[in-house]
A and B are shown apart, each in its own frame.
Chain A
Amino acid sequence: MSGHALARTASSIRVEAVTKSFERGVPALDAVTLDVEAGEFFTLLGPSGCGKTTLLRVLAGLEEPDTGRVEIGGRSMAGVPPHRRSVNTVFQSYALFPHRNVRQNIGFGLEMQGVPGAEIAERSQAIAGLTGIGTLLERDVAQLSGGQRQRVALARALVNEPDVLLLDEPLSALDAGLRAHLQLELKRLQRRLGMTFVFVTHDQEEAMVMSDRIAVLNAGRIAQVDTPQGVYEAPADLFVARFMGHENFVPIRQRDATGVDTAIGRLDGDFAAGSHLLLRPEAIRLDSDARQVPNRFMARVSERLYRGGTTEYRLDCGDIQLMASCANRGQPGHEVGETVEVGVSDRGTATLSD
């Protein structure tokens, strides 16, 4: 359709000991250091107030860090205002200009850079095609659905071919179906363009589906940086584990060469040092499956949630509650109040510190 191919520019990002406080003195960012590789889909994950949006705004230049430095593409960003950074942002509320139509919104950044009108038209058309809004160019923003607005916001940022694209919870306002669809689309687009994406979300599933690497933030600090698998299967601490959706934490009382003493009893196996044992739902086996693993004990079913493909059981083991997830294979399952035999394998577990 157009002769203009999107340039494959991508920049690495280096954030070094960045601290940022707002009025109340509690730092929003506390000595944050991280590296994002060029062309990476990098996600900042954490609960609201953890500093992820502040970090994104520091990268965009909308906030100046109190201390520390930011480099994008090897160039220091100290004192560089947002309009002089080759960084563009997709805002959470999209922040489209309501007095401009779709074409004028998409062309805004190029217009501000003094790109000739013919080139703006051509590039806007091309990016609109790529983001699936090629037929909406003459529409007013007010006439668009949420998903369409999201695409316009994305196109408006991408058309500038930034070295880094920042996305601030861009999918959080959309309903679940559309969201899942756009997650895939966004991921594909990023791979195709080879652009560096820094994506902010509080949704751990979204983060896992989309990211090359995830940084989990907690109270202004980086708790862990790893691949989705690394963050999920080997969380660095209790906070990360909870945030990634894990529910089964068993305090460790003592550890020796052959296993650990825990609040639910003795578990044999090769466990690392730590204060808590994390049992992923799939590590907890019931019934005949339980007999295949060495560590077994009895527990009472206190709750049962049928989820179609799986059934989840909440189990009382003394003071500890565990959550088990069993594939439904036509067996009758267990009733609430029943006592069942539970097995824990040392695979599917991890040890955590506080």
Chain B
Amino acid sequence: MSVLRRETRHMLFTVAPGALFILVFLVLPSVYLVGMAFLSSGPYGLPTLPLSLQSFRELAGFGFLGWSPGNLYTLIRSVWQTLLATALVILLAYPAAYYISTRPARWRPLMLLAIVVPSWTNQVIRSVGWMNIFAPGTPVSDLAALLGLTAPQMGLFPSQFAVIVGLVYNFLPFMVLPLYAAFERLDTEQVEAARDLFASPVAVFRHAVFPQTLPGLMAGIVLVAIPAFGMYVVTELLGGGKATMIGNLVARQFAQASNWPLGAAGAMIMIAVTLIGLKVLRDLGRRLSGDREVVL
């Protein structure tokens, strides 16, 4: 009995600092945020009583001038741009991670470093870099115009295209790293077994490689999609108002628009959408990992 009690005490000691940290820096601010969302906007946009659902009505599009779909469009655009960027990141990261994992061992750290190093630079600076590449009159923009992809003199920036490029560029390392880790400990005998058992190259990937790298892919999606969904800098700089996401909407309420309750409500929606996304991802992962896969 005393052993058990000692273990319990020991556990309390080890768990307490972490629990305290989470309480102070996650639980309390979240409670504060939720509370704020249900208050009214007072002078300078600061939250005041009485309790109100005004913020949520406004988010849903009901303003002084009647209903407008702007905010809903922003939410849908946020989800869509996140999904598109994540899909493109996956398409680029899979071959990259596979390629690096099959290089001689002495080259791999260097190649990984090359993938990671750009993310050590400030996001703003890197986005400005893309602005300079996509601005009107640059070789890239001229080429796009020449191919008829944009109107002459327009440039590729600002645009939704530039935002997607910026998102993909920013988050690529966060997909490559977990996928690389998965590829590095890939059981190649499983791959050979699939080849031996009449699987075509596509089927080998589908049945022997993909299931093994799925945990890495899942981790990568979480690392990419969640921050992409809340992205503020890239959309602000590269979108020029054409591709704003919910992160921009929330930020505006705390800055220019000065409506903290509305910002808090937006943040709540962001968290809710993220949680729904994680749930969908988990269910999808469970299905894909073939837990109870039906033999066709």
Contacts and interface: CB of A to CB of B under 8 A. Distances in A.
Nearest to B188: A95
A249 to B, nearest CB: 39
Given A97-B207, A99-B211, A104-B293, A112 B196 contact: no
Interface in B169-200: 187, 189-190, 192-200
B296 interface: yes
Interface stretch (A83-91, A268-276, A304-312): A83-91
A113 interface: yes
B70 interface: no
B190 A83 contact: no
A104 B190 CA distance: 14
Interface residues of B, number: 22
A97 B200 CA distance: 16
B295 interface: yes
Contact of B196 (A83, A92, A117): A83
Interface string A121-140: 00000000000000000000
A62 B195 contact: yes
Given A91-B189, A95-B190, A104-B295, A62 B196 contact: yes
Tell which of B187, B190, B208, B293 has the most Cβ of chain A within 10 Å. B190
B217 to A, nearest CB: 14
Interface in A143-167: 156-157, 160
Contacts of A111: 295-296
Interface string A81-115: 11110011101110111111001100111011100
A60 interface: yes
B136 to A, nearest CB: 51
A60 B207 contact: no
Contact of B295 (A62, A99, A120, A156): A120
Contact of A83 (B199, B290, B295, B296): B199
B74 interface: no
A139 B190 CA distance: 19
A83 B291 CA distance: 26
B46 interface: no
B253 interface: no
A109 B198 contact: yes
What size tier do the contact residues of chain A reach? Answer: 20 to 34
Contacts of B208: 97
A217 to B, nearest CB: 21
B257 interface: no
A289 to B, nearest CB: 52
B36 to A, nearest CB: 45
Contacts of B190: 95-97
Contacts of B291: 99
Q: Which of A81, A97, A157 has the most B CB atoms < 10 Å from its CB?
A: A97
A282 B144 CA distance: 87
B293 A95 contact: no
Interface in A43-82: 60-62, 81-82
A100 B206 CA distance: 13
Given A93-B189, A95-B187, A100 B197 contact: no
A117 B198 contact: no
B288 to A, nearest CB: 9
A54 B66 CA distance: 76
A120 B196 CA distance: 18
B197 A112 contact: yes
Q: Which of the listed residues B208, B211, B293, B295 has the most CB atoms from chain A within 10 Å of its own CB?
A: B295
Q: Which 10 A-B pairs have the closest CB atoms?
A: A109-B197, A95-B189, A95-B193, A112-B198, A82-B195, A99-B290, A99-B211, A83-B198, A89-B196, A112-B199
Given A60-B192, A87-B196, A95-B189, 18 more contacts: A61-B195, A83-B199, A84-B198, A88-B197, A89-B192, A89-B196, A91-B189, A93-B189, A95-B187, A96-B190, A97-B207, A99-B289, A100-B293, A103-B295, A112-B194, A120-B295, A156-B197, A157-B196
Interface of B: 187, 189-190, 192-200, 203, 207-208, 211, 289-291, 293, 295-296
Interface of A: 60-62, 81-84, 87-89, 91-93, 95-100, 103-104, 107-109, 111-113, 117, 120, 156-157, 160
15 contacts: A82-B192, A82-B196, A83-B199, A91-B189, A95-B190, A97-B193, A99-B289, A100-B290, A100-B293, A107-B295, A108-B207, A109-B197, A111-B295, A112-B200, A117-B296
